[in-house]
Amino acid sequence: MLRSSVKADLCPLAYRGGLIVINRCLVLLWCVLMALPALGAGSQRAAVHPRPPVDPASQTTIREIVDMERQAREASLHRDPDFSQRTLADDYVAITPLGQVTTKQDTVSARKSGQLRYDSIDVSDMVVRLYGDTAVVTARAEVKGHQLGEDFSGPYRYTRVWVRRAGHWQAVSYQATVTQ
């Protein structure tokens, strides 16, 4: 019985430089695939998150809110109870990352007593949305601080709601969540 032994050539082009051509084609294909999201990102983003043009009055309001957020950050760092007294609505409510409900009076008292200490607050990814005389702020914050000796440093996301009353912005709600 005669057996014919034939070796399967699994990579027939490897010996003739074909493998190099195939690798170059794969690299080119990879580059094209990686570029596709970037090429369509503008139209895709517009479809997913439409952003209407912002009129000059809204731009001014957004700047006011961003400035209020800056002042709130500075007041937290300097434990300024007067800022809280002045800018928190009487019906203000905050939800802490641990789910505790705090009021305006709780916040002012914490600032006066020094039980809440911020060493740094680095805010990023801030978005301000306007709804008439209401502004909703969402942002990230990298925080370093202590409350009653407990370290609460870390990354957070927060939402703050501002309402314009009698021509002045007041915070009516705040909620923070620990993130990874």
pLDDT tens per residue across span 82-111:
999 999 999 999 999 989 999 999 999 999
Same domain, 160 and 133: yes
**Per-residue confidence (pLDDT) for residue 131, from 0 to 100:** 97
Q: 169: which strand partners?
A: 164
Same domain, 21 and 68: no
Is 80 among the domain residues? yes
Residues 6+ apart with CB under 8 A from 36: none
Same domain, 30 and 71: no
Is 6 among the domain residues? no
Is 7 among the domain residues? no
Residue-range definition of the domain harbouring residue 26 = 14-47
Same domain, 82 and 143: yes
pLDDT tens-digit readout, 119-132: 999 999 999 999 99
Residue 57 tokens read as 């009055």
pTM: 0.70
**In which residue ranges of the chain is pLDDT below 70?**
1-53
Same domain, 61 and 35: no
**Per-residue confidence (pLDDT) for residue 21, from 0 to 100:** 41
- For residue 65, the Cα-to-chain-centroid distance in whole angstroms is 16
How confident is the prediction for the chain on average, in pLDDT?
80
**Per-residue confidence (pLDDT) for residue 9, from 0 to 100:** 42
